[in-house]
Amino acid sequence: MDHFLYRDGALYAEDVPISEIAAAVGTPFYVYSTATLLRHFKLFDDALDGTDHLVCYAMKAASNQAILKTLAQAGAGMDVVSGGEYLRAKAAGVPGDRIVFSGVGKTADEIRTALSGGIRQFNVESEPEMEVINAVALELGVVAPITVRVNPDVDAKTHAKIATGKSENKFGIPIARASEVYAHAASLPGLEVIGIDVHIGSQLTELEPFELAYTKVAELTEKLRAEGHNIRRLDLGGGLGIPYTRSNDAPPLPVEYGALIKKTLGHLDCEIEIEPGRLIAGNAGLMVSKVIYVKSGEGRDFLILDGAMNDLIRPAMYEAHHDIVAVQEPAPGVERQPYDIVGPVCETGDTFAKQRNMPPLKSGDLIAFRSAGAYGAVMASEYNTRPLIPEVLVNGDQFAVIRERPSFDEIINRDTIPSWL
């Protein structure tokens, strides 16, 4: 469910007409719904009710400080994967003891920043990383709390580019080596082993892969405890998918996911962390664009938009589907026709959809890409010297621009011309 609905023939974000935002900020732009963000966070929080838990928002999905602050005020922690994300979370007012640091390539400088500013834990991905965290912790005179990310070799049944739990993926250490790696971690004086971390992928639409992975984590917890490790926290990652189409083939609900966690891990008396990103932010955002031209081609028609692959890269990168709707609601029974929906970038890959049935549209009409709140603005670029597009947050009948569109002068003036030119 989201809070982007038609009223009197016009698409609204909560209580604000999309056309009103477009008139104020220009197109294209991203718009997020506060009510949807909070509703989705609460679904996860409620799903783990009765357990000691923390829902850490995976901020790589959408990392504007206004979104982070909205969720943090509701009680969310943050899962970060870079020093920049760590500093962004801190700037949004998130305390260090609610920030989890994940990622396979943490540098010594990033580790130093997090240890100096406060961190809930590092999710360690390799033995070399473990050694670096230990060295930095000893240098600073602190002890670093860690979990070790284990790779359970479970097929997440998702897109190959976002699967992370198979043996051939770059993430974590093989679960078969866990005893050896945990023993090594326990021998390092700058580290405190507090738990286990696992994450098998993104946009999962079935519970079975989670159950397979969490069953292995439960067995590993008991084994490591028998070997003398105080395993008291289980970081289960995120990955629960969202419905990108309005079909009946919907992913499992957070309440079903929570029930699975309790069934497979509830007997261990561990604190549970989960790190959803996509399901919190995905359906909480739209990208709104304007039709520049309607072009007739050989056997097909094109809608050429002012939004492009640099603004929303998921279709070009992942062959991802987004429902695309007219901001002005079509009349009941209006005949639809197929269009290729494309952007203005000089690449064939700048295609959002092929032969998508849409109501008749003309130059100047607004359309909205649904489910664009996750991995939209954060993956955008300035390819073709196209400015990053504004981000807007709606709260009831109010809206605010939370990231401005830069001017061309601002973009161009970042360049520095060498003295010999």
Calculate the alpha carbon distances from 240 to 20, 201, 236 in Å: 33, 9, 11
Whether residue 348 contacts residue 302, with contact meaning beta carbons closer than 8 Å, is answered with: no
Whether residue 163 contacts residue 200, with contact meaning beta carbons closer than 8 Å, is answered with: yes
CA angle 411, 412, 414 (to 5 degrees): 75
DSSP track, 107-145: -HHHHHHHHHH--SEEEE--HHHHHHHHHHHHHHT--EE
- Longest CA span, the chain: 70
In this structure, are strands 271-274 and 301-305 parallel, antiparallel, or unpaired? unpaired
Whether residue 388 contacts residue 403, with contact meaning beta carbons closer than 8 Å, is answered with: yes
Place of tokens 């589907």: 321
What is the C-alpha separation between 52 and 227, in angstroms, rounded?
24
What is the C-alpha separation between 190 and 140, in angstroms, rounded?
10
Q: Which two tokens stand for residue 278?
A: 């996509």
Would you call 346 a catalytic residue per the annotation? yes
Q: What share of the chain is helix, strand, coil (3-state, %, to 5)?
A: 35, 25, 40
Phi first, then psi, for residue 327 (nearest 5°) are -70, -35
Query: Residue 343: exposed, middle, or buried by beta-carbon count in 10 A (0-12, 13-18, 19+)?
Result: buried
User: How many residues comprise the chain?
Assistant: 421
Catalytic-role residue among 1, 346, 412, 421: 346
Handedness of CA 206, 209, 210, 215 (dihedral sign): positive
Give Cα 91 to chain centroid, integer Å: 19
Q: Which residues are catalytic?
A: 346
